[in-house]
Structure 1
């Protein structure tokens, strides 16, 4: 075998670490997971959630004590790039092969999946996937089934079989397109028996099977196969004709593309959410622009994708916007009216597709809106139930673009026939998988921008929102703290912006970030604040202006900018203003702070009255004495309040607790819970209201 040092690849990443592999030596399942993870780390090798890997080991049967062959394979719904032991299914190989004795033919394919459960060896197994027998019926110890763009480009070519022969000779055979299932596994088994020296199989329109006696040999065989396909395509790009027929239009400059995308994103989000609210993703990746700006866009985009994994996540075809890249978007309502017919046409196309191809037992039609929206000269938007799904859909369509590019370079691209595409999209097994998905969380599909959320109350609100399923825009005037706060969230749940609520340009940039990252915004929490505690004669004009600018004008400007987005989306929304008990209660030495807080509260009432017709709810949460994690209490405010009450700073928490009816110290999570109460769904018919979270201060009772 070639040494590791001699393995050189130009089109895939060689990630095998011999020292790491030696540490795992003797544990074939651990080596399977290692191989899977490094294969999945390169999106040129396989797409997210796509493909599957397996190995076979000898284990002791817990009932008979005899040695038996067990297959470990990626379970249903997993991703090889992040695969762990609990994502595998462990099954008896002899029982899986014995299923041939009860198989009743293509008309009864789906019943075989239920029988996989009778073959389970490891009781902690993930549910076996439809591809399980494709691994079980092959005689190899380690097997990879991957969806590399280069291989699918050949598999989706009109002359794909001949091209495969040209690249690999007799090392590979071609299996014509067929929906995955038990019958396909029988065809793979037959091909191996007829050609015992094969190195792999091509599945028409679908992907690649490779194998080896060891995890490393299997890994190398997979990389070699993909490298050869990639090199063949590379040598042919532009040889027959310009890529995608050549460039038809030019892209806008990068900064202008981002500006246009941010402005149109909430318009598209509103239109794409006519059936259910969606979260967006935008990319102006050079591969997208090469396709979007080409002469062949009009020909290829309507054809849809070929690989089932691509198709399931990107829908039957994208929607291409027929508007200039530099279109003036200042009147978003007018743009929405202009684009509505294109969305209606797409929905009608999808309804016709469903009605034409549905079976007697097909599930009900799903959301007819597009998932992928292409704007030539600007980029591509994707919309789905959450950010991760939208991002992955974008990655899948880029995979599809790569496939079309390769297929058109060497032959002619062939998409799945519409009936085949429908039968996959509305496959009863796929529907059952969807029905098994966990129930969505209360704030799923929602995007929240929270000012002052690098710490204290704002950060607690962000934490709660993410836990409840929302995407959040973390914002604060302190850029370093914002970045640190953002690191506490998982990918696809947050983005961070530096925001000065007294600066309109800064506010504009924050909403631009929300629109680019998530497609728009649904919840705005005005939590940015500061406090100054001084007697009136010690309070300066500078103090007054600062408090009014941050607390009152800041709330006004952030809310005003939000309303434009909320209205054009047409999905309603929530504005939650974090005010204070001090807006209701007269206290010593805080005349300007209390006045500003009172102004925040009344502004909320006025906005609630104005925005109700748009289903935009405006409510207030009044904290009191939240010292935990607050920068306000780190400075002179705490000293000022302590002086006003004739106590030390250290005595403040107990002092505030004792003056409440419940004798409770108030924490940041208490405020976050009150905010969630307004936006979590149970108070969807409440607006213009105030919740006090102060432990019970009788003087602050709202009358």
Structure 2
């Protein structure tokens, strides 16, 4: 019988009796259902964190004998999206028999290989290091989560005593121990020493709870976390203001975002000294309360406690030596002020590595900070891709919640440096990193393609996203932009694209789009000037309005977008690419084309001029010259097709075949062909090429430039 949702104030009760009833008798289905509900509430566990299990009887495929099988979340994955394919299935008796092969904590890692001898379902996920923690407990359903409220107690200086008093001895306590076989044995011993308990608190780590059914385990988990959260709420403020009270006030929202957008590319430049990073910014109220507080300077260097938090946020954050109202528009001055901070952080990290390393430790990793705190403004996180940067921010907010709770009820304690190192440079974690897919060619790159909600621009954006880049979708039409953004989110998920209205003739919209790029991803690496318009008329029919519109969008637009983009590229300090989508008409003279052709020629020469000027900044500027891209292109709107057909003495319907036939290769040109040409410039093989023209026209001899 389900409880009332009103029972819970600090967690979400999501159980649906009807859905669960449809799974009755299928313990694995109920495990997945329960896991998804738990993972849907970030107050219960963070992304990718925690694991759940169930034990049920199944036939041995060889003997037909009924055996107890444990299904447990495998290595990697996330509870909120867990499917059966994400579970590991092991014989319980075989797993427990590994105790006789265990040689002690010094040989912990060798046990992971032995898990393979216990696997029941050969197609299931690889078992995680937490497998024995579930295997040595007898309960049918078990939840191991990392709730902020529970970790706040687990990370408190006198967390064991608080746990004992709060739950009247019904929750056991196991002191901090790195996850693995030994910890599984300690959980079993805790249960033997405390029969009848409903869960176990892991010092500095998290929570184990259980039940005889999926529903009992779910309710038990919610009730324990609810009590932890209520206890913290009841004690907030009793010792004094949260985090010692405010030391400074936040800037107003709009000013925070302006400051963050201006600063993000500079920070990205610093922390990309080894690997190109993608950024994330948040000014969440919980972050602001923490970074504006009197206790920030004491708490921030301590780092986090929960291993899941620490693995994603590094040993400690970098607190920027900047005042909220400080002018960050002077790039040189800001860089000179921050450079020593980054040097000091890298030296600190090197010393941490040198002091804590073991003879077989993996080589030191990137020494740059992940988390950057700007008091009064917000938090920046940087990582190899957007999802990792965003999740790092979520985990640090979890860590803030833990610190707030611990400080309210006692005193916060973090992992000792050596223990933190043993987690970060654990050989099993290193092996997991080595198994990760090789980064795509454009991973860590950010692209702004003007006019990317349709036609050639969208094809370029898709190609770049396919190759790992983050993209800024933009258009002058809100509906078209939103439609393209929805398409990108459906195809690539939430972390690949951001959107902004952009009119290339208006500087304020260009600046806003680049600010969006900075806030969403940290800056920009690739600028593609693609937005265009076409008009084909005889000279005497060309109006001043026609002429001005062509030059405003094609020439002035390319100038304004490039100018604004270069400012961001220079802030980052590691170069970049500008690609201008021009036309074969920039070099080929034809009738009824005075305005469009001359504007395209101006675009082409502006490319050469910028290539000559920006070379010392390692900014490459190149041209792609398409011709007759008919499919899915906006260029044929507004009378262009009619004008070209008239110039050639044919009908509009005959244009595609006419254009294909006049090429040396007798080929029609598609938006994807232009996208491939753009990728050729930025994909890594032409890093020392600038000022070039790449024709994508099927071969038009008159357009040969050499």
**TM-score of the two chains, using structure 2 as the length reference:** 0.98
**Over residues 382-407 of structure 1, what are the superposed CA-to-partner deviations in whole Å (9 max), with x where a residue is unaligned?**
00000000000000000000000000
Match for 2:649 among 637, 646, 649?
A: 646
Residue 279 (structure 1) aligned with residue 278 (structure 2): yes
Structure 1 residue 5, shift from structure 2 partner: 3.2
**Over residues 257-279 of structure 1, what are the superposed CA-to-partner deviations in whole Å (9 max), with x where a residue is unaligned?**
00000000001110111111110
Counterpart contact for 2:310–2:420, Cα < 8 Å: yes
**Over residues 408-466 of structure 1, what are the superposed CA-to-partner deviations in whole Å (9 max), with x where a residue is unaligned?**
00000000000000111111111111011100000000000110000000000111111
Give 1:199-278 correspondences, 5 Å limit.
199-278=198-277
Query: What's 1:494 paired with?
Result: 497
Tell me the SS of whatever aligns to 1:277: coil
Match for 1:607 among 593, 599, 610?
A: 610
Query: What's 2:23 paired with?
Result: 24
Q: Quote the Cα distance in structure 2 between the aligned partners of 1:58 and 1:656.
A: 69
**Over residues 270-324 of structure 1, what are the superposed CA-to-partner deviations in whole Å (9 max), with x where a residue is unaligned?**
0111111110000000000000000000100000000000000000000001211
Q: Quote the Cα distance in structure 2 between the aligned partners of 1:208 and 1:73.
A: 16
Residue 578 (structure 1) aligned with residue 576 (structure 2): no
Q: Quote the Cα distance in structure 2 between the aligned partners of 1:268 and 1:358.
A: 28
Q: Quote the Cα distance in structure 1 between the aligned partners of 2:349 and 2:497.
A: 32
Give 1:169-188 correspondences, 5 Å limit.
169-188=168-187
Match for 1:560 among 560, 563, 573?
A: 563
Q: Which runs of 4+ in 1 moved over 4 A?
A: none
Structure 1 residue 672, shift from structure 2 partner: 0.5
Structure 1: segments with no counterpart, 5+ residues: none
Q: Quote the Cα distance in structure 2 between the aligned partners of 1:382 and 1:465.
A: 23
Moved more, 60-69 or 225-234: 60-69
Structure 1 residue 94, shift from structure 2 partner: 1.1
Query: What's 2:452 paired with?
Result: 453
Query: What's 2:465 paired with?
Result: 466
Q: Quote the Cα distance in structure 1 between the aligned partners of 2:623 and 2:29.
A: 53
Tell me the SS of whatever aligns to 1:611: helix
Counterpart contact for 2:534–2:638, Cα < 8 Å: no
Q: Quote the Cα distance in structure 2 between the aligned partners of 1:17 and 1:346.
A: 49
Moved more, 631-640 or 600-609: 631-640
Query: What's 1:53 paired with?
Result: 52
**Over residues 639-679 of structure 1, what are the superposed CA-to-partner deviations in whole Å (9 max), with x where a residue is unaligned?**
11112122222211111101111111111111111100100
Query: What's 1:166 paired with?
Result: 165
Q: Quote the Cα distance in structure 2 between the aligned partners of 1:576 and 1:338.
A: 33
Q: Quote the Cα distance in structure 1 between the aligned partners of 2:9 and 2:50.
A: 22
Counterpart contact for 2:535–2:638, Cα < 8 Å: no
**Over residues 343-375 of structure 1, what are the superposed CA-to-partner deviations in whole Å (9 max), with x where a residue is unaligned?**
111111111111111111111111111000000
Query: What's 2:437 paired with?
Result: 438
Query: What's 1:66 paired with?
Result: 65
Residue 517 (structure 1) aligned with residue 516 (structure 2): no
Tell me the SS of whatever aligns to 1:169: coil
Structure 1 residue 29, shift from structure 2 partner: 1.3
Residue 354 (structure 1) aligned with residue 338 (structure 2): no
Give the alignment's Cα RMSD to 1 decimal: 0.9
Query: What's 2:531 paired with?
Result: 528
Q: Quote the Cα distance in structure 1 between the aligned partners of 2:546 and 2:78.
A: 55
Distance 1:478 1:21, change over 3 A: same
Structure 1 residue 193, shift from structure 2 partner: 2.2
Query: What's 2:704 paired with?
Result: 701
Q: Quote the Cα distance in structure 1 between the aligned partners of 2:142 and 2:91.
A: 16
Q: Quote the Cα distance in structure 1 between the aligned partners of 2:73 and 2:705.
A: 58
Structure 1 residue 6, shift from structure 2 partner: 5.8
Query: What's 1:591 paired with?
Result: 594
Structure 1 residue 69, shift from structure 2 partner: 1.2
Query: What's 2:131 paired with?
Result: 132
Q: Quote the Cα distance in structure 2 between the aligned partners of 1:14 and 1:252.
A: 36
Give 1:282-361 correspondences, 5 Å limit.
282-361=281-360
Q: Quote the Cα distance in structure 2 between the aligned partners of 1:22 and 1:482.
A: 43
Structure 1 residue 8, shift from structure 2 partner: 2.1
**TM-score of the two chains, using structure 1 as the length reference:** 0.99
Q: Quote the Cα distance in structure 2 between the aligned partners of 1:359 and 1:6.
A: 50
**Over residues 210-263 of structure 1, what are the superposed CA-to-partner deviations in whole Å (9 max), with x where a residue is unaligned?**
111111111111111110000000000001111000011000000000000000
Q: Quote the Cα distance in structure 2 between the aligned partners of 1:408 and 1:517.
A: 32
Structure 1 residue 533, shift from structure 2 partner: 0.7
Query: What's 2:398 paired with?
Result: 399
Moved more, 44-53 or 17-26: 17-26
Distance 1:216 1:7, change over 3 A: farther
Structure 1 residue 635, shift from structure 2 partner: 3.2
Query: What's 2:109 paired with?
Result: 110
Counterpart contact for 2:5–2:13, Cα < 8 Å: no
Structure 1 residue 4, shift from structure 2 partner: 3.4
Structure 1 residue 7, shift from structure 2 partner: 5.2
Query: What's 1:679 paired with?
Result: 682
Structure 1 residue 24, shift from structure 2 partner: 2.1
- The total of aligned residue pairs comes to 702
Q: Quote the Cα distance in structure 2 between the aligned partners of 1:25 and 1:629.
A: 51
Structure 2: segments with no counterpart, 5+ residues: none
Tell me the SS of whatever aligns to 2:22: helix
Q: Quote the Cα distance in structure 2 between the aligned partners of 1:14 and 1:131.
A: 26
Tell me the SS of whatever aligns to 1:4: coil
Structure 1 residue 328, shift from structure 2 partner: 0.9
Q: Quote the Cα distance in structure 2 between the aligned partners of 1:119 and 1:651.
A: 69
**Over residues 555-584 of structure 1, what are the superposed CA-to-partner deviations in whole Å (9 max), with x where a residue is unaligned?**
011011111111121111000111111111
Give 1:615-626 correspondences, 5 Å limit.
615-626=618-629
Tell me the SS of whatever aligns to 1:559: helix
Query: What's 2:75 paired with?
Result: 76
Tell me the SS of whatever aligns to 2:4: helix
Query: What's 1:481 paired with?
Result: 480
Query: What's 2:43 paired with?
Result: 44
Q: Quote the Cα distance in structure 2 between the aligned partners of 1:540 and 1:7.
A: 70
Tell me the SS of whatever aligns to 1:71: strand
Structure 1 residue 102, shift from structure 2 partner: 0.4
Q: Quote the Cα distance in structure 2 between the aligned partners of 1:115 and 1:652.
A: 68
